[in-house]
Amino acid sequence: MSSTSQKHKNFVSEPMGDKPVTELAGIGDVLGGKLEEAGFDKAYVVLGQYLVFRKDEELFKEWLKDTTGANKKQQNDCFGCLKEWCDQFL
């Protein structure tokens, strides 16, 4: 990670708890709404999907693109955020 957003830094700086999905880096209101419609209303539910994919970058990004229409930057930001959080807390 050469540069991360403030949103990313905030997310990975503390336990996930009950954060809404829009707290994930790369996930704003539009993508967050699409995730919520698909049943992924909390950040920990998206983390669960990431773990189901065994932290596989390609599978997770493809799922995010298919589920929300996320672009490459959004996919990278969300994946990086979850990866760093897992590295720190799991």
Q: Are 31 and 81 in contact (CB under 8 A)?
A: no
The 10s digit of each residue's pLDDT in 6-22 is 999 999 999 999 999 99
- Domains along the chain with CATH numbers: 6-89 (1.10.150.40)
Phi/psi-derived region of residue 54, left when phi > 0, alpha when psi is between -120 and 50, beta in every other case: left
Structure tokens at 32: 């967050």
Question: How much is the pTM?
Answer: 0.94
The residue-averaged pLDDT of 49-61 equals 98
